[in-house]
A and B are shown apart, each in its own frame.
Chain A
């Protein structure tokens, strides 16, 4: 009786899991927790960018062009939203790679983000200096 209840609970738990999480072997807990923290670090990066964009819009009075300020703020806001989605996709693909003992997928997002931030900082500096 108890065994059948237990197996039913286990199968319900298994069906609640997405398909990709039922394949391969469960990764070492240190690695899955590190993957979880990496996801959270990406979310925090996105939310910091968002806070920066709102601050830029609402507290900047010395920008040479208000339109350019609005454009930068909105662009940063959409970048933040995109990073949140990317964070989930990366967490998922990292876990799939771990489950099948494959190499972790690389990403161009880090270099794209660095380039984007470099350009935005340069533009804001120029707008402040003008």
Chain B
């Protein structure tokens, strides 16, 4: 009975720790969005570029959402193993937006 201390009723038996690894991968990715958002925020504040500052705050919020999503997904792993295609597309778009913010901050900091 006490053989599997990690057993939770909502989770399937997962000896490869697939859920945990996937959840950590989401968190690492969110962390990199935070790093890039902070770099953008720095340029936005030091160059008085309001649009860039707002974009950086939006990116920080989306990183927060990604962390909550990773936790939610781990809890609900059993009901749907495969991630929704829309989530992947939105993640990819957020990453493209982060790249846009980075490129914009390169140009704005030169003005």
List residues of A whose CB falls within 8 A of some B CB: 16-18, 21, 26-27, 29-30, 32-34, 36-37, 39-41, 43-44, 46-48, 50-51, 53-55, 57-58, 70, 73-74, 77-78, 80-81, 84-85, 87-88, 91-92, 95
Closest to B99 in A: A81
Contact of A84 with B22 in the complex, beta carbons under 8 Å: no
Contact of A21 with B106 in the complex, beta carbons under 8 Å: no
Contact of B95 with A27 in the complex, beta carbons under 8 Å: no
Contact of B82 with A26 in the complex, beta carbons under 8 Å: yes
Per DSSP, chain B at the interface is helix
Beyond A58-B43, A77-B102, whether A88 also contacts B110 by CB under 8 A is: no
Report the separation of the CA atoms of residues A108 and B110 in the bound assembly, to the nearest whole angstrom: 35
Q: Would you call B53 an interface residue if the criterion is a C-beta within 8 Å of the partner chain's C-beta atoms?
A: no
Closest to A45 in B: B32
Beyond A36-B22, A48-B32, A54-B106, whether A81 also contacts B83 by CB under 8 A is: no
Per DSSP, chain A at the interface is helix
Beyond A47-B33, A88-B89, whether A80 also contacts B83 by CB under 8 A is: no
Contact of A32 with B81 in the complex, beta carbons under 8 Å: yes
Report the separation of the CA atoms of residues A70 and B22 in the bound assembly, to the nearest whole angstrom: 36
Contact of B96 with A81 in the complex, beta carbons under 8 Å: yes
Which of B39, B82, B110 has most chain A Cβ within 10 Å? Answer: B82
Range class of the B interface residue count:
35 or more
Nearest CB of chain B from residue A29's CB, rounded to whole Å: 4
Nearest CB of chain A from residue B64's CB, rounded to whole Å: 16
* A-B CB contact pairs (8 Å), 17 listed: A21-B82, A29-B81, A30-B16, A33-B21, A40-B26, A43-B92, A43-B95, A46-B95, A47-B29, A51-B36, A54-B36, A54-B102, A58-B43, A80-B99, A80-B102, A84-B95, A85-B96
- List residues of chain A with CB within 8 A of the CB of B86: 16
Contact of B83 with A53 in the complex, beta carbons under 8 Å: no
- List residues of chain A with CB within 8 A of the CB of B35: 47, 51
- List residues of chain A with CB within 8 A of the CB of B109: 57-58
- List residues of chain B with CB within 8 A of the CB of A43: 29, 32, 91-92, 95
Q: Would you call B88 an interface residue if the criterion is a C-beta within 8 Å of the partner chain's C-beta atoms?
A: yes
